[in-house]
Amino acid sequence: MPESITNPAIAVFCGSKNGLDPIYMEHAASIGSMLASAGFSIIYGGGNKGLMGAVANAMLDGGGSITGVIPKVLIEWEHQHEGLTELVITEDMHQRKKIMYERCEAAIILAGGFGTLDEMFEMLTWNQLNIHDKKIYILNSAGFYTHLISHMQHLQDAGFLYGEISQRIRFFDTPDELISELDQKL
């Protein structure tokens, strides 16, 4: 039976691949390590590869608690992490996201692909619809999200958002800046 996780949980959404710039892996490991040091727990996608693996391993190395949530269909593909505090296996991606959203106090978005963007945009949409009011933080490692941030500003400037984008999401260039604000807000 997994040990009880009592520290505030932060959802971390990120890629199951390393990416081409080594800073993505460095920042992922830093986030895991810093969250452990700050006394947070993590809930994430459950994989042991790429940025997911870097976040999980750094959290575990720092003595933190981490829950992985992985759909049955991805167990072999993403190679679930075997050393987690808790591993939740879901029927599908929708159930995975719902569990992660319900259990977290805030979310951090690291570099990643379509799945990471899907998770981020669903959280943003739910925030806009007042389904939740959880803070969302993007780590813009090496400018990875600069174009997306510009497009989000364009959505606001063009009149398609309900409220200021800064009310729903915050952007940071370094793990230190992000964790510092997160630590003050929670």
Q: What is the per-residue pLDDT across 54-111, written as a single tens digit (0 to 9) for each?
A: 999 999 999 999 999 999 988 867 678 889 999 999 999 999 999 999 999 999 999 9
Query: Rounded to the nearest 5°, which phi and psi values hold at 115?
Result: -60, -40
Report the predicted TM-score, pTM, of the whole model to 2 decimal places: 0.93
CA dihedral 55, 59, 61, 64 (to 10 degrees): -170
As beta bridge partners, residue 170 has 137
For 43, other C-beta atoms within 10 Å of its C-beta total 26
How does pLDDT run across 124-183, given as a tens digit for each residue? 999 888 888 899 999 999 999 999 999 999 999 999 998 889 888 999 999 999 999 998
* Domain 9-185, CATH among 3.40.50.150, 3.40.50.450, 3.40.50.920, 1.10.260.30: 3.40.50.450
CA distance 46 to 62: 17
Query: Rounded to the nearest 5°, which phi and psi values hold at 106?
Result: -160, 170
Residue written as tokens 């459950």?
46
